[in-house]
Amino acid sequence: MPIQDGPQAAKRLRAANSRAKAIFLTIHEDRDFVAAALSAVASGYVTKARLSTDLIPAIREAMLRHTFVSQTLNL
């Protein structure tokens, strides 16, 4: 994202009291980036390698107010 990264955008949504759910779809598998996304109250973190299997479950979990993280991250 050219102006701000995903965690910054998610924090702005939270600060604006938005009801939007943030699900990260990214190539990044760095633990620090994942931690930043989740601390920004992300509802999901899906790696692009797992897009076809994880995106729909991530959306379902977000709608239930749960957090979803692709299993390939081994957190």
Q: How high is the pLDDT of residue 74?
A: 62
pLDDT band at 53 (very low <50, low <70, confident <90, very high): very high
Fold assignment, 6-70? Rossmann fold (3.40.50)
- Render pLDDT for 20-35 as a digit per residue (tens, 0 to 9): 899 999 998 888 888 8
Q: How high is the pLDDT of residue 10?
A: 84
Percent of the chain with pLDDT over 90: 47
User: Can you list the pairs that 35-41 forms with residues at least 24 positions away whose Cβ atoms lie under 8 Å?
Assistant: 36/7, 37/6, 37/7, 37/10, 38/67, 38/69, 39/7, 40/6, 40/7, 40/8, 40/10, 40/11, 40/14, 41/10, 41/11, 41/14
